[in-house]
Amino acid sequence: MKPQFPSAQEYSTQTARYPALTVVDIRAEQAAVTEAYRNQVLVDVNNDCMRLSVFEGEYRWHHHPDSDELFMVVAGTLQIDLADGNRMELGAWQSVVIPAGTVHRTRAIGRTVNITYEKAGAQTVFVEVVA
């Protein structure tokens, strides 16, 4: 099954699924994902948001010009390729911050679950990277 990725506008205009003061069962949320890719805003925190990403395979090259992005892997293995040729690999309960403007792509090794924090409404720019 090939993942269906959102457009840049769909990504940046997504609203939080739950309001403040709501207990969110993240384990149940990720267990309910049956498609090959889902990235959804669960809650807003100040001017930022917390996303739950569950996916398999490779995401597109992109960057967020106006927001850092924190990745925290909950389950599985996540590789993050950088346009400069470097690659990071995160396992469960490891995290990294990708600075604003850094071109990157994520690759899930098997089914991977990660939490991301970024500016709410962060702009996403998809790019082509020549390896």
**CATH code at position 60:** 2.60.120.10
Number of domains in the chain: 1
d(CA 33, CA 1): 14
Among 56, 8, 7, 11, smallest CA distance to 30 is for 56
Q: What is the pLDDT along the chain (131 residues), one digit of tens a residue?
A: 567 788 989 989 999 999 999 999 999 999 999 999 999 999 999 999 999 999 999 999 999 999 999 999 999 999 999 999 999 999 999 999 999 999 999 999 999 999 999 999 999 999 998 66
Q: Provide the pLDDT for residue 2.
A: 66
Is residue 1 situated within a structural domain? no
Among 99, 92, 89, 81, smallest CA distance to 114 is for 92
Rg over alpha carbons for the chain, rounded to the nearest Å, is 14
Is residue 131 situated within a structural domain? no
- Identify the domain containing residue 117 by its residue range: 8-126
